[in-house]
Copies of this chain bind each other. A is one copy, B any other.
Amino acid sequence: MTMSLSAELWPDVQPETARRLMLAGVESFARRGYHATTTRDIASAAGMSPAALYVHFPSKAALLFAISKYGHEQTLSLVESVVARETDPVVRIRLLVEDFVAWHARRHTVARVVQYELHALPDEEFEIVARLRRRIEQVVREVITEGAATGVFTVGDPHTAARAVLSLGVDVSRWYSERTRQTPKKLGQEYSELVLRMLGTKLS
């Protein structure tokens, strides 16, 4: 069974038209940026009239927020689920980077909007996604801090190391494209090796 991309990305958004608008929004925002895309762009990419957007979303910014919030929740739960099912810091970091990087490659269009368009959000909505971002960073930092405490990691400052790890993942969405000759999964594995070495681990 195959399902539409929009249904795969946002399974619990209803109706399908709203999902199509989100998909059109993601693609436009990723290509041209939020401020350079017009509501007419989005609507016509979704095969509808300009006014149709406002049946499902109160504003253009609300559409961006829906995309951004959903994307941040997805990456947070991805990170949290690794921490929930593993305990060894080395394994945690390996799987965490594998999944985080693979997601930013496979979903690079969504990820680009999530990572680089959040400043276009109104203050209140921005604060909500900023909280989610802080939680993601905190999880990574705590794993590194714990590994440093037990001696499996050797890092100067866990804060800086966590920043570096996340930078590597986030930035994948900036340069990755369909033409990249490396699958998301493979890239995630390669990056997790780089990160583990960066954190001063002996590769097992």
Contact = CB atoms under 8 A, between A and B. Distances in A.
Interface of A: 32-36, 116, 119-120, 155-157, 160-161, 163-164, 167-168, 170-172, 174-175, 182, 187, 190-191, 193-195, 197-200
A160 B187 CA distance: 8
A195 B191 CA distance: 13
Contacts of A172: 167
A156 B156 CA distance: 25
A35 to B, nearest CB: 4
A195 to B, nearest CB: 8
A63 B172 CA distance: 29
Contacts of A190: 156-157, 160
A4 to B, nearest CB: 28
A135 to B, nearest CB: 16
25 contacts: A32-B119, A33-B34, A33-B35, A33-B120, A34-B35, A35-B35, A36-B120, A155-B194, A156-B193, A157-B190, A160-B191, A161-B194, A163-B175, A164-B168, A164-B194, A167-B172, A167-B174, A167-B175, A168-B171, A170-B174, A171-B171, A197-B197, A197-B198, A197-B200, A198-B198
A150 to B, nearest CB: 19
Given A36-B35, A197-B198, A182 B160 contact: yes
A164 B172 CA distance: 9
Contact of A167 (B32, B116, B167): B167
| Residue of A119, A198, A199 ringed by the most chain B CB atoms within 10 A | A198
Nearest to A163: B175
Contacts of A198: 194-195, 197-198
A122 to B, nearest CB: 13
A171 B200 CA distance: 22
Nearest to A37: B35
B191 A164 contact: yes
Nearest to A182: B160
